[in-house]
């Protein structure tokens, strides 16, 4: 949460909370219902997140590091919700020209200082086990690079 907040997130939800706590946090932060949900985690939290969406809400499936979520179709149908898979690599392979233009825009934002990418945390190669442990223990956020 600190990582996201330090980079401009207006609000964050503690993913270590119980399902009911996550749903309540989402409703409180959104003023009643969530319009868009960005979920790189999946797993058991997926259904909780889906239920926090308001009518006509959109659920963006970015990944599933905690497992593939089981999402009840009735929750989608009855409230006109949408679930969209976001696979940038697959999309970029099918749309190389559009991807090139998008990356040029991103690079321009970086050049103007409007977008500040996070530098990877580096470890010497002989400390690869430490790097993995720190990642697992959530001592680091973002990318890790091993340097030979």
54 and 104 co-located in one domain: no
- Per-residue confidence (pLDDT) for residue 116, from 0 to 100: 85
19 and 80 co-located in one domain: yes
If you compute the radius of gyration of the chain from its CA atoms, what whole number of angstroms results?
18
16 and 55 co-located in one domain: yes
Tally of domains in the chain: 3
Per-residue model confidence as pLDDT tens digits over 2-26: 777 777 777 777 777 787 887 788 7
Q: Which domain range does residue 66 map to? A: 1-86
Which of residues 70, 86, 102 is at a domain's end? 86
41 and 99 co-located in one domain: no
131 and 75 co-located in one domain: no
- Per-residue confidence (pLDDT) for residue 108, from 0 to 100: 97
Q: Choose the weakest-confidence range: 22-26, 74-78, 100-104, 140-144.
A: 22-26
Q: Choose the weakest-confidence range: 11-20, 36-45, 58-67, 94-103.
A: 11-20
- Per-residue confidence (pLDDT) for residue 12, from 0 to 100: 79
SS3 58: strand
């Amino acid at each position: 949460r600190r990582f996201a907040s330090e980079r401009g997130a207006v609000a964050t939800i503690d993913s270590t909370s119980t399902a009911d706590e996550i749903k309540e946090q989402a409703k409180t932060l959104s003023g009643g219902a969530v319009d868009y949900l960005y979920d790189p985690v999946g797993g058991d939290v997926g259904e909780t997140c889906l239920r926090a969406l308001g009518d006509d809400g959109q659920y963006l499936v970015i990944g599933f590091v905690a497992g593939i979520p089981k999402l009840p179709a009735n929750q989608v149908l009855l409230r006109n919700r949408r679930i969209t898979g976001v696979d940038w690599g697959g999309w970029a392979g099918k749309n190389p020209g559009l991807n090139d233009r998008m990356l040029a825009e991103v690079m321009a934002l970086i050049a103007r200082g409007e977008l500040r990418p996070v530098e990877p945390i580096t470890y010497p190669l002989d400390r690869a086990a430490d790097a993995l442990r720190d990642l697992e223990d959530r001592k680091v956020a973002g990318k890790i690079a091993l340097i030979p």
